Every structure is written in C-alpha cells, then in structure tokens.
Amino acid sequence: MPVGAKPRARRLVRVLIIDDSAFVRRTLRTLLLSSRDIEVVGTAVDGNEGLAAVERHDPDVITLDLEMPRLDGFAFLRILMRRRPTPVIVVSSHSDKQTVLRALELGALDFVAKPEKSVSPNLKQIRGELVDKVLAGAGSLVEQLRRRLDTTREIMALREEDLAPSAQRRVATAATGLVVVGASTGGPSSLRRLLGRLPYNLPSGIVVAQHMPARFTRAFAERLDREFPHSVREAEHGGLIRGGDVIIAPGGCHTEVQPCAKGFETTVAPSEPGERYIPSVDRLFSSAADTAGSRVVALILTGMGSDGAMGVQYVKIHGGRTLAEDESTAVVFGMPRVAIATGSVEAVLPLDAIAPRVVSLVNPSH
C-alpha cells in the first residue's frame, strides 16, 4: 500500500430485522452485531413497515418473523420476491414446521430458531447459525431462487397434465442403483425443481441429505410426497430402497445406505456432540460408494460449507459418477465450489441440466 494511503473500508453485510417482538428485535440485533462483518441498518415491526424499510435501507439480507399483525411474513415474501428479490432468513419457533416450509417455498433462503425469553443454552448455537446464514445469504443468487420457484410451478403443472392418474404412482421394485444428493442453504427449492424434472420411475433410488433440523425433515418429505408423483418419505432404519423412491435423511441424525437381501437399505444413526454437518453428506456418499460402487450418481447442490467434498472423492475412487451445480444457478455456491476444487467432480452443470444427465447415467440405453 502506498505511503499515506488509507486502507479500504471493509464492506459490511447490511441486515434488516423484521419482527413484532421488541425482545426478539433486540436479541437478534445483539447476536448479529457480535460479528464484525455485519451491521444492522434498520428494524420493522410488521410487513408493511418492512417493505418501506427495504426501500429506505436497501439491505443485503433480511431476517423475518412470519406471524405478524397487518402484513404477515408470507404476504411480505410474495411482494418482496416480486418487487425486489432479497435474501431472507426466517426466524421462527421449531414448532412452526409447516409455516417455515411454506416460507421456503415462497422464496426464503433459510431459517433459524427464534430466541426464547428465558435464558437458553442454545443461544450460542442460534448466534452461530444466524451469523453463518446471514453471511452466506449476502452472497446468494436470490434472483435465481425467485425464477427457480416460478418455473418449478410451471414444470409441475405440465407434468400433471402429462401423467394419467393411474400412472402417477407405480409399484416399484428394488433399486438397481443409487442417486445420492447433498444440499444445504437454498436446497429445498433446488430439490423441488430437480424432482420436477426427474422421472418418478427411475430404476435407481434417490437418497437426499439436506441440512435441516430434526422434526422438519419429516414435514418436508410429506410435502414433497403430496406435490410430486414420486414416492417421498423420511429415511428409516432398515428401510428398503426401491427404484424411484425419494428418501430424505432425518434431521438430527445421519443416514447411510448398506446392502441387504433385496438390494439396498437405509440405516439411521444418532449424531455426535460437536458435529457440524447433520445429516452428513459425506457419510451418505461414502456409504453409497461402499455399497453400490459404480452404480452411484452423486449430486452436490447449493449450500454453504464443505460437506460433500470428501464424499465425492470417495464416490469417484469407487467408480461412481459425480455432478455439481454450476455457480450460475446455485443460490449459495459454497458446497459445490469446495467439491469442484477436489478435482473429483466430472461435470459442473446448471440445475436444469442435472436431471437429464442423471437420467442418462442411470439409464445408459436411453
């Protein structure tokens, strides 16, 4: 740096807090300001104030309560994503599974637990998750997320027209191979779009490790099962994997696959204290490689962190195929970037190109 030159000021992530609880607003402000990379540029008590504050402050990221007077979080999201797409982190109680999932479908990027008024031993964990997700959100491609949600609805409408009711579900046979998927921040919308383009009658079973807390994954699986012709369920210990099944790893646990008399089955094991990624993409991918070898296709989708990087290397060594989502469509390019850097990803594709490649890999004759 030239003598006398001033150091360039660090660009802080600008956050707007929207919540009708004064306690929550104060607590979130304190937690966020504990990071030297974040500044809180404003607060609002409902969606109407929030929309005005967005115009006034131009935040990089918004934290959003869902249950508010006048204009609630859902209406706010619909208007925001239409007018001025901005990364949104929902702050909600863990009891609100369905409402949180609905918010993710409307364009929210991720969610964290709401701080409680009583002294909570989980406050440090909430602080860590909140800061990490806000920082990741600041670099996300939220406009891509909005477009993805719009076109997913179009794909689903077309597929419902193409599928006769009697053909929408079939009696599946044991899977002949495995498609394993890892995702984190931005993953729920990516998975919905991926399923919108994948046939429901693949010969391979699909097992998904989506970073999500316990109790949310079952509700997530149930929503996908209602929405798509695929058979979608949460993984169970000893559950048979059939062709075309979509199996979601339970939050708070690790899901792996192993051989069984009829082909492949899932195993579910508790997580250990201090583990960062739960459910672990690395553990799912590695177990799939051990179990199915060259009959594995591993996908790394949007997400922050490095989970899956070791797993794709393991899949590659065992003769499986490895794909990662391209930066042009990944809402958060963290997980794909780290996986690609290992040199073990054979193809980097935009999200809409992944499903056709998967079909060609599990159906080589097509």
Catalytic sites, residue numbers: 184, 211, 307
Distance of CA 253 to the CA centre of its chain: 16
Among residues 218, 342, 196, the alpha carbon closest in space to that of 268 is found at 218
Closest listed residue to residue 296, CA positions, set 325, 316, 266? 316
Q: How far out from the chain centre does Cα 348 lie?
A: 18
Structure tokens at 275: 């583990």
Question: What distance in Å separates the CA atoms of residue 138 and residue 130, rounded to the nearest whole number?
Answer: 12
Assess contact for 227 and 159: CB atoms under 8 A: no
Cα-Cα-Cα-Cα torsion 234, 256, 104, 90, nearest 10 degrees, comes to 110
Closest CA to 286 of 249, 320, 263: 320
Which residue, 289, 333, 290, is CA-closest to 312? 289
User: Quick one: tokens of 241?
Assistant: 């994997």
